[in-house]
Amino acid sequence: MTTLSSTAEIEKIAEKLILEVFNVKKGETVAITGDSDSNREFAEILSKTTTDAGALPLIMWTPKSPYDGQAGMSYWPAKALTAALSNVDIWIELHTNVILYSDIWEKAFENNAELRYIVLGDSSIPSLARVFTTFEIKTLGIFLEKVKDLCMKANKIRITSKNGTDVSYKTDLNYLFDYDDGDLSKPRFGTAPGYINIIPKKNSMNGKIVFDLLMNTTIYNTTNRIEFTMQNGEIVDVTGTAQEVKKFNQYLSSFNDPNMYKISHNMLGFNPGVRKLSGEIVEDERIWGGVDFGFGHTSPMDMPPHGQPAKSHFDGVVERATIYLDDALVVNNGVVCHPDLTQLAQKLISNKK
């Protein structure tokens, strides 16, 4: 049973999302989707907060799919969900195996140019509190805009870490350079805030990624190890702890989809409230001074004109990264050190809201 104190915490998060992040207006329709493993109390409190704001909540609950994204399509009432989500103002996704990147998601955005969306997955309430309630949206936005501008001016991005990571890729201005500062008051695809998202140039990523956290493995808080050898933008070798390597290779090969081996995106993490790994991927992808690497499906919105279709998508995290934009050192072992960024960075991490 949820305690009174945790209910108060849920209410605080719901108010942040509905009133500040989405800035919900009277009469708007807010869809809240989840599955049999999602936090129903959170959905109900989001619904009540929506009603209190003069808007119209719509809760849609499905059985849990065993797969994320396109691989889960046969487990969801796709026609009904697509129709509904094509006609709402806001969509908050709480599915534990997410609809994100499936045909439902793609068609909802294609049909609904005004859609404001966020995916929260199966994040715990304490995690959501750290991710959403520790900063001022405006200040984070100024900082992230500066980082994005620096990234867009760079031809090559290199990421290293003391764990053995050393990987680089070229940029492509035709692809997405985006950030999320927590402002979803206008139509857009949003995730938890506090990152820069970059779609690497096709076939350009080379090197080694050693993960501190990787979906579908048990390497976090263990002595297990997984590393990818990247060649021309795709995974050509998986090494590390034998049992984990075998399990992960079985996971990848089960899709029978070569695009599942290809890099999808790289996120540079800058959420002021996320200072250490928690084991929750939505939070950890945004760890301050760390990076996330995503593989598999990439939307045409991010990689025009056709995207990178794949049956699913997975992510892994490297904490305390060192990041070079061309020859400029921007982050050193998790510490922001670029002269154009240090003052704002210090304000964000020392004055968490």
* pLDDT band at 2; cut points 50, 70, 90: very low
Domains observed in the chain:
4-122 (3.40.1830.10), 136-350 (no CATH)
What percentage of residues in the chain have a pLDDT greater than 70?
A: 98
Is residue 298 a contact partner of residue 264, using CB atoms and an 8 Å limit?
Answer: yes
User: How far is residue 318's CA from residue 210's CA, in Å, rounded to a whole number?
Assistant: 7
Asked if pLDDT for residue 173 goes beyond 50, the answer is yes
Q: What is the pLDDT of residues 6-50, one digit of tens each?
A: 899 999 999 999 999 999 999 999 999 999 999 999 999 999 999
User: How far is residue 291's CA from residue 160's CA, in Å, rounded to a whole number?
Assistant: 10
What percentage of residues in the chain have a pLDDT greater than 90?
A: 94
Identify the pLDDT of residue 350.
Answer: 87
* pLDDT band at 260; cut points 50, 70, 90: very high
Stated pTM of the model: 0.87
- Report the candidate in 178, 221, 225, 174 with the shortest Cα–Cα distance to residue 201: 174
Half-sphere exposure of 193 (CA within 13 A, CB side): 29
135: Cβ–Cβ under 8 A, 6 or more apart, which residues? 182, 193, 194, 271, 272, 273, 348, 352, 353
Q: What is the pLDDT of residues 82-120, one digit of tens each?
A: 999 999 999 999 999 999 989 999 999 999 999 999 999
Identify the pLDDT of residue 177.
Answer: 96
- The two structure tokens encoding residue 50: 């929506």
